[in-house]
Structure 1
């Protein structure tokens, strides 16, 4: 919220209002009479009447009755009214008064209650029952809402837990949220044809497709369609957008699901493409012939190739923007008047397709609670979890949903791993490949990604907490020391895997930075010898075994004794070696909190 007014109606509320403003510096303070740092108003009711629509939110501090009387004459619609909340003069209760969902009052109520350590009072039924706020989901996930009956009727049926079908025939972050949080009275479907409409009273659908539903329906239109356009020079744009929307509707596609319009650079100044972008409210992408030349189109044209060197502008542009290889609407040739020929085609964004997908997830250092929230959500949604069993605690797989397949890759060859993932992928299922720590640090994912690329399989990486961060936490050490150590080196010793000549340990040791050495306990003598070429023998070291696991063990000492520490304690491959003066250092503290830097924290 950009503009917030805090309105004080009692002397007791002044300090409460100032506390709120410390955390909401964009807020302005208003009060009757003269009070320090407050703008004086003659009448709260008159002020609210004049300024009601100028603010995104009004926070009243004082009696609830004053708040209600002040806003009474200004209230018009939950779709346009600002958020209004009231804080009692003791700061014990924060009440959401007006525009709870759409205006954001409920969210602001929780935030202010947290600031004051107060109780948030929210009476919206969906909030108190843990149900979705259907009237704000579209805004939260950037969908366009459409309803077959008034929205209030949809919301009433939903909060009264009438049997509801949820159709998700495309996917994005929003659909994953709905899958994860679906209430008990909601049954999820991925194909419209599978819904038994005799058993449901309400349909909620996230879809770009125009289905004919026999029950009251709320459609959310995600921006997942990409429109490619070509045209004659100086083509008249009159009526073109309207013609395209009619064609999309005839093809059972919603124009509200368009994400972009694109064309070739030869046409980038054509009024037609700019008119479409403006009327549809979508961005225009312009591609060169080189961008498009490798794209195969279903309807190539010799004439278009002569002019542009691309066999089909509209189709190629749509496929390029969608990163897809197939079209939902192949090239449409239209002419609304003589000499005004244009073409268009539509493709579905590849990432939105209901097809197999692989999420490479960083499990963190071991503690199941140190996986990211996003990583945990993926584990809960996965149809297959393939985890690095020798390195990832099995407890992390307990997040799996019922009927999910959970397999350890510890005894599998790469070929067996690929075969299993591809089997699930080809069925259109969701796979989580679970790696220890952060998968991009010694995660052995490069060969897997090469395989996914070779077979044109979609995948994504979710980062995890690396064990070097767990080491810093376990050692209660800041690995960077102002004016002394500002570099952290993540590396390994040279064992069976050769090290590049310029990355030999003794060369890296010259900087005397904080060094975190992975996978090197078995060659600790060599590691110690190389480090001693540049670090003093008394440099602090720590050997950290199974960081954050139940059997975690940490041994501190000096570099000259590192090999002995590792051997005497039978530490294995899953040991991180940390070396440097940053270990246990309490000197050279940051100057950020000195008086010279206090201006950074002033409003």
Structure 2
């Protein structure tokens, strides 16, 4: 089957993998087949005039017409697009379908001899830089990265902590803070919670990036920009003017509930409790409970909505943990002296809880901080 490309009609492609390889020349076809053999999580597209007869077996989709008309469909369905087409031509062809760096797929360009692999679009957020290195390694080619933070071996502000699941609170200051980082201005880093081993390069951190123990110390130093890593909801007097606030996955919620408790009630209790404690819901990593509650729809629905880990513990595991106010009634019916408190202690490994236990309606809730080892010590 050959895909007939036409203007204003989305190409009827068959998507099987997250990455697409596109070639339009004889040499490009050779490179695409070689690359697909090395990277099987790819779909291959090349022009029907280069058909060899084994395309279906090699997951190749043939097309006829202008390759320009293939890109709208590729952008809609793929995480990354690897093109064996000249850089200038790709720039012109993808220009009409660009939306935003937060949603555009990674685009990587390979020259017709397979000697250079260029990260062209969505280098950080889209993963083009990482994809470029992977493709270059597979082809034994040169990886060409032009993103300033990678070239200078400094912090990529938009991806800072991403490998740990950190989220930024707002993208308002991503661009100006990134400019301060790559222009070697004074940038303060304050970390209250989260993983400490975030420096990703094999060279020392640039001297313009300075770490401070507290937000107050950072503000006194009057930096041009700041990176703040915390699960706290910051007060107005703690807001540094040009800063990005990151939310590490450093909180765990323990919960127990009556049978049949609604999802709405569980979610409301979580939101209200975190607000009372001054904590960001973006920093929650997991919700934990007793194994008797592992089938409660409310827990499955809430953890699915927020993309949290859902974990439960056995009777013996919970009874091995400290319970501040053990309940004989709970033990009589379940065989454990508590649910939310011992569950959250077991997951976090923290003896000091942010909330030991609160009963609210049909639920009980406890909250703890996950303590990460300080690798800088």
Q: TM-score, normalised by structure 2?
A: 0.81
Q: Distance in 2 between matches of 1:30 and 1:84?
A: 15
Preserved CA contact (<8 Å) 1:189 1:195: yes
Q: Deviations over 1:570-593 (max 9, x none)?
A: xxxxxxxxxxxxxxxxxxxxxxxx
Q: Larger relative CO (CA 8 A, sep 6+): 1 or 2?
A: 2
Report 1:559-570 matches (<5 A).
none
**Which residue of the other structure, out of 75, 79, 84, is the alignment partner of 1:56?**
79
How many Å apart are 1:217 and its aligned residue? 2.6
| 2:239 maps to 1:214 | yes
Distance 1:25 1:317, change over 3 A: closer
Q: State the SS of the aligned residue for 1:172.
A: coil
Query: Is the counterpart of residue 8 in structure 1 residue 19 in structure 2?
Result: no
Q: Which deviates further from its counterpart, 172-181 or 323-332?
A: 172-181
What is aligned with 1:227?
Answer: 253
Out of 288, 291, 294, which is 2:317 matched to? 291
Q: Which secondary structure does the structure 1 equivalent of 2:279 belong to?
A: coil
For the pair shown, the structure with the greater C-alpha radius of gyration is: 1
Work out whether 1:349 is the aligned partner of 2:370.
yes
Shift in alpha-carbon separation, 1:15–1:353, aligned structure 2, 3 A: closer
C-alpha displacement of 1:6: 2.5
SS of the residue 2:169 aligns to: strand
Residue 110 of structure 1: aligned partner: 133
Match of residue 239 from structure 1: 265
Q: 1:74 to 1:180 in 2, by over 3 A?
A: same
TM superposition shift of 1:179? 11
Is the aligned partner of 1:254 residue 2:280? yes
Q: Deviations over 1:515-564 (max 9, x none)?
A: xxxxxxxxxxxxxxxxxxxxxxxxxxxxxxxxxxxxxxxxxxxxxxxxxx
Query: Which secondary structure state, in structure 2, belongs to the residue aligned with residue 285 of structure 1?
Result: strand
Shift of 1:319: 0.8
Output the TM-score relative to the length of structure 1: 0.53
- CA separation of 1:221/1:174 partners in 2, compared to 1, >3 Å: closer, same or farther? farther
Asked if structure 2 preserves the Cα contact closer than 8 Å seen for 1:149 and 1:217, the reply is no
1:280 aligned to 301, 306, 309, which one? 306
Separation in structure 1 between the aligned mates of residue 301 and residue 84 of structure 2, nearest angstrom: 49
Q: Give yes or no for contact 2:177–2:226 (8 Å, CA) kept in 1.
A: no
Question: What is the CA deviation profile of residues 304-363 of structure 1, one whole-angstrom value per residue up to 9, with x for unaligned ones?
Answer: 34444433322122112212222111211223xxxxx3211111224x266xxxxxxxxx
Sort the Cα spacing of 1:195 and 1:106 in 2 relative to 1 into closer, same or farther, 3 A: same
CA contact (8 A) 1:49 1:70 kept: no
User: What is the Cα deviation at residue 45 of structure 1?
Assistant: 0.9
Shift of 1:176: 6.0
1:27 is the counterpart of 2:42:
yes
Give 1:173 shift. Answer: 6.1
Unaligned runs of 5+ in 2: 1-15
Shift of 1:117: 4.4
Correspondence for 2:9: none
Q: Which residue is equivalent to 1:330? A: 356
Gaps of 5+ in 1: 336-340, 355-377, 382-429, 431-603
- The offset of 1:259, in angstroms, is 2.0
Q: For the structure 1 residues 103 and 11, does the alpha-carbon distance in structure 2 shift closer, same or farther, using more than 3 Å as the test?
A: same
2:176 corresponds to 1:161: no
Give the secondary-structure state (helix, strand or coil) at the position aligned to 1:195.
helix
